[in-house]
Every structure is written in structure tokens, then in C-alpha cells.
């Protein structure tokens, strides 16, 4: 790692970034997951911020897509062609239809961005709830975004302000949950996270394996790293936040079946609050 760190004070910069936002890593596996997560969040936050100001801002340029050799860098794809969590975050942030919660006038607001040639009309809900899934306030709004436009929807006071910033979040959903956005009122290092608990099953598919994870507690930025078991293995999604009782399915493609027990355990399956 030291040999491949070419930025001046690069490791110190990474540490400062982690200290500002995320829990302290206990070992190298934690550090590796959290630094990749911090990278993904930083760039996704920037892209969604700029997109939310359409048409004042009409685009972003991302540095960088890939690396030509193994190095600690901002790339979304590493020197061996593996997708980092950032790659999945970019796919979400650059979706043709984007639902995002952004700071406006001192509090959060719902922003819908439509980069298609057709108007986007959908019913949306925004809920303030606890980390255990208990609703505290809720509103329904109509999302109507003309083609190639964005709209900002102010949130009522009972949604914009939490009773306990360390134990609450906002969940915005549109189109029967097809688009989802989250807003946490505190940094992860300050959130009162419960210890992560989940149930997981693994079943074979025609070309790989399907991993289904059901949350027993909130799971923040759940990510599966099958390449830790086989360097050629790939997964179809990453950085999934689940509330208690919700499920997510990860499809894994690999040259040979991977150990089901290893697929559903640390350090292959990670989330922020398993640290």
C-alpha cells in the first residue's frame, strides 16, 4: 500500500476524510471498506448537488474512470478492471431520473431531476422515521418534472427537523419505490447505530449465485465484495441501505460457485454499522 500511494501525504488525507464522517476502522478490512465508501459518497454527493441545480449547472466531469496500474486513486474501476463501490454510486447518481434530498434554506428539501425527453409524473412520499423503522412524520407530494428539468419541493417543518438527530433519517420514495433517496441528520460517526444484524440465503442461478439479505436492524450501505473470494467475481449492485424488515438481492457472477458461508460474512459482506 505504501509503495502504491503516490499522492503527497495521501494516507493522511484519507484518514482526515474518514475522521470527519465515518467510524474509526479497527483493522485493514475496515479501512479498505470505509475509504472506498467515503470515496463513493463524496463523488455521489457532488454529482447529485450539481444535478439538483439544473439548469444553473448543466453537467459534471468525474475524475476518474479507471487506472492503468494498481494505485491508490480516485478511479471507479481498479487496475485489474474491478468495479469499486464508486462505480455503483455513479450509476445511481447519473440515473436519467434522480430523486435526491438536498440542503436548501437551512434544511433538507426534495429535489427531482428529469434527464429524459418525457415529463416525469409520480406520487412521492417523504417519511421521517427512527433507525428502528418507527415513523415520526410523513407527507405525500406529486412529483411533476418537465423534460430535461428539475424541481425543488420544500418539506414541512415536522419532516425537516428531527427530534433526535442521532437516531432518525428521512426516506423519500417515488414511483412505488423505484426511486429512493435518504437523508441522515448526523454524520455516521455520530449516529447511534445498532449492531448490524441480518439473515442471508445463497442459492445457485444459471450463471452464478443469488445472495438475499434481510435486515433485522438498519443496514447502512450494505455492500458485497465477492472478489475477495475470487478476483474475477462480480456483483450487480452495492451500497444498499436497508431498514429493519427490508430485503435486497445481490446477483454474483463467478467462474465457479463461491463458498456460501463466506459470501454472507465479514469481510465479504459489509455495512457501516458492522464496525
Where is 198: in which H helix or E strand?
strand 198-204
User: What is the rounded CA–CA span in Å between residue 100 and residue 180?
Assistant: 8
- What is the model's pLDDT at position 53? 97
DSSP, res 77 = B
User: What is the rounded CA–CA span in Å between residue 247 and residue 260?
Assistant: 18
Return the number of other C-beta atoms located less than 10 Å from residue 68's C-beta.
Answer: 7
Helix and strand numbers (H, E) in the chain are: 5, 14
- Helix 28-52 vs helix 10-21: angle between axes, to the nearest 10 degrees? 70
Report the percentage of the chain scoring pLDDT > 90. Answer: 93
User: What is the rounded CA–CA span in Å between residue 93 and residue 211?
Assistant: 24
The mean pLDDT value for 92-115 works out to: 96
User: What is the rounded CA–CA span in Å between residue 258 and residue 226?
Assistant: 8
User: What is the rounded CA–CA span in Å between residue 142 and residue 124?
Assistant: 6
Q: Say if residues 264 and 214 touch (Cβ distance below 8 Å).
A: no
Where is 202: in which H helix or E strand?
strand 198-204
User: What is the rounded CA–CA span in Å between residue 198 and residue 206?
Assistant: 26
Question: Per-residue pLDDT tens for 167-189?
Answer: 999 999 998 778 999 999 999 99
Report the percentage of the chain scoring pLDDT > 70. Answer: 100
Is the model's pLDDT at 98 over the cut of 90? yes
Question: Per-residue pLDDT tens for 205-218?
Answer: 988 999 999 999 99
The mean pLDDT value for 2-25 works out to: 92
User: What is the rounded CA–CA span in Å between residue 252 and residue 12?
Assistant: 34
Question: Per-residue pLDDT tens for 222-251?
Answer: 999 999 999 999 999 999 999 999 999 999
Q: Residue 275 class from Cβ within 10 Å (0-12 exposed, 13-18 middle, 19+ buried)?
A: buried
Where is 15: in which H helix or E strand?
helix 10-21
Amino acid at each position: 500500500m505504501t509503495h502504491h500511494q503516490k499522492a503527497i501525504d495521501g494516507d493522511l488525507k484519507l484518514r482526515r476524510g474518514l475522521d470527519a464522517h465515518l467510524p474509526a476502522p479497527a483493522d485493514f478490512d475496515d479501512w479498505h471498506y470505509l475509504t472506498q465508501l467515503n470515496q463513493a459518497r463524496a463523488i455521489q454527493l457532488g454529482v447529485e448537488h450539481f444535478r439538483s441545480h439544473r439548469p444553473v449547472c448543466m453537467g459534471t466531469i468525474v475524475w476518474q474512470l479507471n487506472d492503468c496500474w494498481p494505485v491508490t486513486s480516485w478511479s471507479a474501476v481498479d487496475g485489474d478492471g474491478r468495479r469499486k463501490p464508486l462505480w455503483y454510486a455513479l450509476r445511481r447518481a447519473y440515473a436519467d431520473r434522480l430523486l435526491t434530498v438536498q440542503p436548501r434554506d437551512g434544511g433538507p428539501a426534495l429535489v427531482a431531476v428529469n434527464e429524459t425527453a418525457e415529463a416525469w409524473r409520480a406520487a412521492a412520499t417523504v417519511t421521517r422515521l427512527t433507525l428502528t423503522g418507527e415513523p415520526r412524520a410523513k407527507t405525500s407530494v406529486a412529483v411533476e418534472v418537465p423534460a430535461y428539468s428539475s424541481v425543488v419541493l420544500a418539506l414541512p417543518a415536522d419532516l425537516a427537523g428531527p427530534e433526535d438527530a442521532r437516531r432518525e433519517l428521512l426516506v423519500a420514495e417515488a414511483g412505488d419505490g423505484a426511486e429512493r433517496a435518504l437523508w441522515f441528520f448526523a454524520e455516521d460517526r455520530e449516529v447511534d447505530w445498532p449492531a448490524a444484524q441480518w439473515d442471508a440465503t445463497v442459492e445457485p442461478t444459471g450463471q452464478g449465485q443469488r445472495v438475499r439479505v434481510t435486515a433485522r436492524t438498519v443496514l447502512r450501505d450494505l455492500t458485497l465484495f465477492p472478489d475477495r473470494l475470487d478476483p474475477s467475481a462480480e456483483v450487480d449492485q452495492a451500497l444498499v441501505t436497508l431498514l429493519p424488515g427490508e430485503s435486497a438481492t445481490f446477483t454474483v457472477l463467478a467462474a465457479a460457485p463461491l463458498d456460501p458461508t463466506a459470501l454472507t460474512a465479514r469481510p465479504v459482506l459489509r455495512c457501516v454499522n458492522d464496525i
